[in-house]
Amino acid sequence: MKNIISQKIYKKGEEIAVLFKQKINIQKGRYSLSLGCVNIQTGEIEVYNRLYDCILFEVVGSEEMVGFYDLGKTIGIKEI
């Protein structure tokens, strides 16, 4: 899935904050969170940064769940 958050071109020295909000309504178990920042143009991917397994967490519970989930994400940009 490709999400276009902003098409603005920022100049060197400009600072922004990228804000993420997400509901974590997921199956019990162990998870890791990986993050990345890339530029996709004309089918080519330019990787700026990737962080693998930067947060490890465990969801505990007594009920099993199956199926697809909408994690209700929102992503925004705030100029500093």
pLDDT in tens, 42-66: 889 999 999 999 999 998 987 777 7
Q: Is 44 helix (H, G, I), strand (E, B) or coil?
A: strand
Band (4; pLDDT cuts 50, 70, 90): low
pLDDT in tens, 23-42: 877 888 899 989 888 888 88
**What is the pTM for the complete model shown?**
0.59
17 pLDDT above the threshold of 60: yes
The pLDDT score that the predictor gives to residue 23 is: 81
Give the residue, 7 or 14, on which the prediction is more confident: 14
* 28 in Cβ contact with 60 (< 8 Å): yes
Cβ-based neighbours of 19, under 8 Å, separated by 6 or more: 74, 75, 76, 77, 78
